[in-house]
Amino acid sequence: MACLMTREFAEREITPTVKECERQRRFPFEIIKKMAPLGLLGGVLPQEYGGSGIDWVTHAIIAEELGHASFSICLTVSIVQIALVEMSILNWGNEQQKQKYLPRLARGEIIGCFATVEPNVGSDGAAIETTAIIDNDQWLLNGTKIWATNGSVADLTIVTGQTDKSKGSHGITAFLVERGTPGFSARQIEGVTGIHSADEASLSLVDCRIPQENVLGRVGEGFRLALSSINHARYTIAAGCTGMAQACIDACVKYAKERQQFGRPIGSFQLIQGMIADMIVETQAARLLTYQVGYLKDKGLPYAKETSIAKYYATEVALRASTNAMRLHGAYGYSDEFPPERHFRDVMGPIIFGGTNEIQKLIIGRDALGISAFAP
């Protein structure tokens, strides 16, 4: 039911406006507000915290529908608001933090952000340079974060900082930083290739005083918190990219039926049918790999390797699908009058987000060989 409702909402509210939102690079506040009463901002949160209490497979189907309509909205809501922010607070926060933030996030009253990447720190999260020093029963945060999705519009940001550098990854702690905290500022990053309706920002923390009650999880657990939340994000990225690939298929099927060459629709040509068939097979495989992860998550079984497989494969499928869709549309594919142009630009983001696909291959290889290729 939730999946059908999401599709109907996307067709009614997102699809008709996505082109202009992307052209104007406008953050879709109005659409996000409309999603809240439908339960699309609460997702897998338990009902006691304002969520819908859906299972993880349903979450993937909803993310797929949003990715089909607009990856910008899928990224903003399903990947960041739900998978990164809400799940971090649900799984690592204390009861006071859950009661304070989760219902407001689910109602769309506040927008969340998760900030861990830094100018000099990407996949090596243990090397975080942002410092957090205890000072008069408060934490003093100093540092810079970059590529923080929702960063310049967020009301609440989860920030990771190094509380004890001598402990490496065990010295990292997560903090809840609210908008308006003195010393905390955000600047939108301009000139990005795609996902133009989403918000990417760099964050600056200069002597930000964070009270003890805003430590998320225990001191020193920030790295584990980040890894667990990023796994939720990777799973949701796979679902959103499956939706993006399906959108390319749908656009190609429609165009191949309508476009006439040599006196007949181009869909009657063998090369066109072969291209579409390849896209359909790969997209279905990506969908099933993603659903497998959701099944494992719902059953409480290990899912880290399977998440990397799904994220790697689904994003690469979306890249191939958008590339082939551009080719199939010919010169029209080079214009934003047709959807493939947007998907072609958008897909490079999720290939990088949540750990690059090269990192996913190292995770898969390490699991198979029992040998780590990661730098010590």
Q: What is the CATH number of the domain that holds 183?
A: 2.40.110.10
Query: Does residue 135 lie in a domain region?
Result: yes
Burial 209-226 (b: 16+ CB within 10 A, else e): ebeeebbbbebebbbbbb
> Which ranges of the chain would DSSP assign to H, the alpha helix?
2-9, 18-24, 29-35, 56-69, 71-73, 87-92, 95-106, 222-258, 270-299, 304-329, 340-346, 348-352, 357-369
Can you tell me the distance from the alpha carbon of 186 to that of 150, in angstroms, rounded to the nearest whole number? 10
| Domain boundary pick from 59, 75, 110 | 110
Shared-domain flag, residues 153 and 246: no
* pLDDT tens sequence for the chain (376 residues): 677 899 999 999 999 999 999 999 999 999 999 999 999 999 899 999 999 899 999 999 999 999 999 999 999 999 999 999 999 999 999 999 999 999 999 999 999 999 999 998 876 667 899 999 998 889 999 999 999 999 999 999 999 999 988 888 899 999 999 999 999 999 999 999 999 999 999 999 999 999 999 999 999 999 999 999 999 999 999 999 999 999 999 999 999 999 999 999 999 999 999 999 999 999 999 999 999 999 999 999 999 999 999 999 999 999 999 999 999 999 999 999 999 999 999 999 999 999 999 999 999 999 999 998 876 5
What's the pTM? 0.96
Instruction: Count the domains in the chain.
Output: 3
Domain co-membership, 91 together with 123: no
Q: Are residues 250 and 334 in the same domain?
A: yes
Cα separation of 7 and 71, whole Å?
14
Q: How far apart are CA 293 and CA 289, in angstroms?
A: 7
Per the domain annotation, does 374 fall within a domain?
no
CB-based burial label for 335 (10 Å; 0-12, 13-18, 19+): exposed
CB-based contact 67:243 (threshold 8 Å): yes
C-alpha–C-alpha distance, residues 310 and 316, integer Å: 10
Do 104 and 142 lie in a common domain? Answer: no
Whole domain around residue 160: which residue ranges? Answer: 113-220
Choose the final residue of a domain: 220, 245, 260.
220
Q: Are residues 78 and 184 in the same domain?
A: no
